[in-house]
A = this chain, B = another copy of it.
């Protein structure tokens, strides 16, 4: 299982409800690909959003985002993490 951060653009003005709905769309589909969408953050002023997920591959994360209607080119596998 790998960890991923993906980046979305074009979400200027996004509200908590809108982000929650998008995240829940991903979560409804995630079992099909063995992905788990853990958390998402958004900046309404620039329209950037970041999702943290775990799954078998970048392609699996992308397929869920595509099926949920919000694909992104920017999916990074982040095997290095510190706190």
Residues of A within 8 A of B (CB): 3, 5, 7, 14-16, 19-20, 23, 38-46, 48, 50, 52, 76-83
Q: B76 to A48, Cβ gap below 8 A?
A: yes
The closest CB in chain B to the CB of A80 belongs to B42
Query: Once the chains bind, are B5 and A80 in contact (CB under 8 Å)?
Result: no
Question: A43 and B82: CB pair below 8 A?
Answer: no
Q: Which residues of B contact A81 (CB under 8 A)?
A: 19, 39-42
Check A3 against B41 for contact (C-beta < 8 Å): yes
Q: In angstroms, how far is the closest chain B Cβ from the Cβ of A48?
A: 5
User: If A5-B50, A50-B5, A50-B50 touch, does A43 touch B83 (CB 8 Å cutoff)?
Assistant: no
Min CB distance A62 to B, Å, is: 15
